[in-house]
Amino acid sequence: MPNKAIVTGGAGFIGSHLCERLLGSGYEVICIDNFITGDRSNIEEFLDNENFRLIEHDITQPLIPEGLDFHGVKEIYNLACPASPVDYQNIPLETLWVSAAGTKNMLDLAVELKAKFLHTSTSEVYGDPLEHPQRESYWGNVNCMGPRSCYDEGKRFGESLISNYAHKYGVSTKIIRIFNTYGPKMRANDGRVIPNFITQALEGKPITVYGDGYQTRSFCYVSDMVDGITAMIGRERFAGPVNLGNPEEYSIKALAEKIVELTGSKSKVSYKDLPQDDPKVRRPDISLAKEKLGFSPKVGFEEGLKKTIEWFSS
């Protein structure tokens, strides 16, 4: 019997890369997505694969099992959630609700199927961090009423829900905290910094740096992130939470300059207001992921950016 997995948010950026990896490893994959921020084009290439099934469904609604064959599903990867600040601030209630009701519905399914449940949490649980780099033991600095709270608090609630389900029902759960990730299949208009800068540079438009550009982020190429996710599901007796990301840290200004250089663009930087509660620094401490999962990002920043630029150019 092949491994069988459900991937919620499987038509999203990271979700579609995860589906591809699982299919390549001989899995049967059931992708559940309502396309609120995911994109059908991300999974188009899998639709002819007999091991791939798409269920168009909003996981905040209970799954009606009639006609749906979840028999034999041993793993559920819960990725469904808008993840770009522009997206989630446009649809804050959907964002809160998918982290709450959506996660609950998928946990109930995991209990019923006795499947492992892997949840994608986020570096945003650390908010605008007062500890740097961020370790899993840090409790964070989140404005629970701010514009990012729908995402941050949704993900924090999700972590609480999952750990309590694990205690109450003995379901095997795993929480990863994903730091900024990039690569092909990001939506050009999703509002995040790398797709914005690349499309602006390719079109010769001004590069919109928010604030003074000295805020920092650490960017992980998507194949490294998928390596971390698959290592986590395979690791017995380790529930996390565990940080996954690339600890190389860059200022947003340096990122803008790098993208201009790699695209050979004539674009100039144009400074805009910094959005409220924008974290000033972010860098994962990945010691735990190294120790427990042997996780170590392999794709260098310039190499990853070149691949991403190539994808956006085509």
The answer to whether 81 and 154 have CB atoms below 8 angstroms apart is: yes
The answer to whether 34 and 61 have CB atoms below 8 angstroms apart is: no
Q: Is 53 in the site for ligand UDP (CB under 6 A)?
A: no
Q: Is 193 in the site for ligand UDP (CB under 6 A)?
A: yes
Number of residues that bind ligand UDP (CB under 6 A): 14
Which one of 151, 165, 182, 221 is the catalytic residue?
A: 151
Q: Which is nearer to ligand UDP, 64 or 145 (CB)?
A: 145
* Rounded Cα–Cα distance for residues 46 and 312 (Å): 20
Q: Is 217 in the site for ligand UDP (CB under 6 A)?
A: yes
* Rounded Cα–Cα distance for residues 51 and 48 (Å): 9
Tokens of 221: 């190429």
Q: Is 208 in the site for ligand UDP (CB under 6 A)?
A: yes
Query: Nearest approach, Cβ of 17 to ligand UDP (angstroms)?
Result: 18
* Rounded Cα–Cα distance for residues 230 and 233 (Å): 5
Query: Nearest approach, Cβ of 229 to ligand UDP (angstroms)?
Result: 19
Q: Which is nearer to ligand UDP, 39 or 278 (CB)?
A: 278
The answer to whether 172 and 114 have CB atoms below 8 angstroms apart is: no
Q: Is the peptide bond before 284 cis (omega within 30 degrees of 0)?
A: no
Using the rule CB under 6 A, which residue among 99, 134, 196, 218 binds ligand UDP?
196
Active site (annotated) includes residue 151: yes
Q: Is 34 in the site for ligand UDP (CB under 6 A)?
A: no
- β-strand partners of 217: 250
Using the rule CB under 6 A, which residue among 9, 15, 85, 154 binds ligand UDP?
85
The stretch among 46-54, 190-198, 258-266, 285-293 that binds ligand UDP (CB under 6 A) is: 190-198
Residues 230-269, one symbol each (x = binds ligand UDP by CB under 6 A, - = not), give ----------------------x-----------------
229: enclosing H helix or E strand:
helix 222-234
Torsional sign, CA 257, 263, 269, 270: negative
* Rounded Cα–Cα distance for residues 53 and 43 (Å): 10
- ∠ CA 181-187-191, nearest 5°, is 75
Q: Which is nearer to ligand UDP, 113 or 259 (CB)?
A: 259
Tokens of 9: 């948010």
Q: Is 180 in the site for ligand UDP (CB under 6 A)?
A: yes
* Rounded Cα–Cα distance for residues 299 and 185 (Å): 17
Q: Is 278 in the site for ligand UDP (CB under 6 A)?
A: yes
Using the rule CB under 6 A, which residue among 18, 209, 281, 286 binds ligand UDP?
209
Residues marked active site are found at 151
Which residue ranges make up the site for ligand UDP (CB under 6 A)?
A: 84-85, 180, 192-193, 196, 208-210, 215, 217, 252, 275, 278
